[in-house]
């Protein structure tokens, strides 16, 4: 069973959904940039709730059923996306929670653990980059064919670069709903990686669901605008201030941020690194059991 709730703060509505018993330890799931909360797979969420966790997922502003912002009139920053995590906690009466973030959700989870350590009981980052690593600059350099600065993060795979260069060269974005869905399925196939089976029909159904529940499907680009407005938004050299026990998860076939997990684990004191065989940048059914076991153990202090 699940329960939905709208969290309102300063004119922003955030759609949230909870699973399990509110008396159990709370896990707050933070999805990546431009992604709805329902991208957290129901199967993984269900396993966590069945293991005795109160699980909450939510739509970032400008995704899904949350507020679609007029960015020109009301611009925001990545710090606002970080603080939305706290707004969700406050709405649920949580002084703190176990924060689990995927991709950019893991990055702002790190940021929250640095800035508001009392709100983060444990931290789990999946397929993420280290706070202060300037991942955006690394990606742009790779896509533009520029030399990576010395000491920068490992670049994305050649397959990732080729895919997005081709998309950039194509010019015009998808014009119809069908084209939009098929473009997202193609991107998901790339992010999924080549090793584990890719369920194309399940992905297509997810993309249809994402379109159906979006207030404005195009408003997700506001996340990119918030980031591009200041590529130096991240504080640098602060991960040694993270006090929360931290689990870092990376797939062995990660195409976007390969090797970034090890960098995070090196910079956060006591962090543990879990490499998941065959996983790319998505959360397929084949890895749900392993991820649920790891997160359950970590949030119980048993890792």
The DSSP 8-state label assigned to residue 269 in this structure reads: T
**pLDDT tens-digit map of 216-254:** 999 999 999 998 777 678 899 999 999 999 999 999 999
Percentage above 90 pLDDT, the chain: 85
**pLDDT tens-digit map of 21-31:** 999 999 999 99
**Which of left, alpha, beta for 20 (phi over 0: left; psi -120 to 50: alpha)?**
left
Return d(Cα 46, Cα 260) in angstroms, integer: 28
Spatial contact of 38 and 31, defined as CB atoms under 8 Å apart: no
Question: Which residues fall within 8 angstroms of residue 107, CB to CB, at 6 or more apart?
Answer: 101, 125, 128, 129, 130, 131, 135, 234
Identify the residue whose tokens are 């684990």. 265
pLDDT band of 267, cuts 50, 70, 90:
very high
The CATH homologous superfamily for domain 2-134+214-299 is Alpha/Beta hydrolase fold, catalytic domain (3.40.50.1820)
pLDDT at 301: 84
| DSSP H or E run through 162 | helix 158-170
CA dihedral 226, 232, 237, 239 (to 10 degrees): 10
Return d(Cα 99, Cα 86) in angstroms, integer: 11
Return d(Cα 130, Cα 92) in angstroms, integer: 28
Q: Which of 95, 86, 125 is nearest to 257 (CA)?
A: 125
**pLDDT tens-digit map of 6-52:** 999 889 999 999 999 999 999 999 999 999 999 999 999 999 999 99
Identify the residue whose tokens are 């194509």. 170
pLDDT at 171: 76
Question: Which residues fall within 8 angstroms of residue 146, CB to CB, at 6 or more apart?
Answer: 140
In this structure, the strands spanning 97-102 and 246-251 are unpaired
CA 49, chain centre distance (Å): 19
Q: Which of 128, 117, 125 is nearest to 244 (CA)?
A: 117
Max CA pair span of the chain: 52
Q: Quick one: tokens of 122?
A: 């444990």
pLDDT at 230: 72
Q: Which of 116-120, 173-177, 262-266 has the lowest mean pLDDT?
A: 173-177
Return d(Cα 16, Cα 114) in angstroms, integer: 24
Question: Cα separations (Å) of 73 from 76, 195, 222?
Answer: 10, 45, 12
**pLDDT tens-digit map of 96-108:** 999 999 999 999 9
Which is it for the CA torsion 303, 40, 241, 276, positive or negative?
positive
**pLDDT tens-digit map of 118-144:** 999 999 999 999 999 888 777 777 878
| DSSP H or E run through 261 | helix 260-267
pLDDT band of 148, cuts 50, 70, 90:
confident
Q: SS3 breakdown of the chain: % helix, strand, coil, rounded to 5?
A: 45, 15, 40
pLDDT at 99: 98
């Amino acid at each position: 069973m699940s329960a939905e709730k709208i969290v309102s703060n300063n004119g922003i509505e955030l759609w949230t959904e909870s699973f399990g018993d509110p008396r159990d330890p709370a896990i707050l799931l933070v999805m990546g940039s431009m992604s709805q909360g329902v991208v957290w797979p129901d199967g993984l969420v269900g396993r966590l709730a069945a293991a005795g966790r109160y699980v909450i997922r939510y739509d970032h502003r400008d995704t899904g059923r949350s507020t679609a912002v007029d960015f020109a009139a009301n611009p925001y920053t990545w710090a606002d996306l970080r603080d939305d995590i706290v707004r969700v906690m406050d709405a649920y009466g949580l002084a703190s929670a176990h924060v689990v973030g995927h991709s950019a959700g893991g990055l702002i989870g790190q940021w929250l653990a640095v800035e508001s350590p009392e709100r983060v009981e444990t931290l789990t980052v999946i397929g993420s980059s280290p706070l202060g690593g300037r991942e955006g600059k690394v990606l742009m350099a790779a896509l533009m064919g520029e030399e990576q600065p010395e000491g920068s993060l490992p670049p994305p795979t050649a397959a990732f670069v080729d895919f997005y260069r081709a998309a950039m060269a194509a010019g015009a974005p998808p014009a119809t709903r069908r084209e939009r869905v098929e473009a997202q399925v193609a991107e998901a196939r790339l992010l999924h990686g080549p090793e584990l089976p890719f369920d194309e029909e399940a992905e297509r159904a997810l993309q249809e669901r994402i379109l159906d529940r979006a207030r404005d499907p195009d408003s997700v680009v506001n996340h990119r605008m918030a980031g591009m407005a200041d590529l130096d938004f991240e504080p640098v050299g602060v991960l040694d201030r993270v006090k929360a026990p931290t689990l870092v998860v990376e797939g062995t076939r990660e195409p976007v941020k390969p090797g970034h997990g090890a960098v995070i684990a090196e910079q956060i004191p006591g962090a543990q690194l879990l490499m998941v065989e065959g996983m790319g940048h998505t959360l397929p059914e084949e890895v749900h059991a392993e991820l649920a076991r790891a997160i359950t153990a970590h949030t119980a202090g048993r890792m």
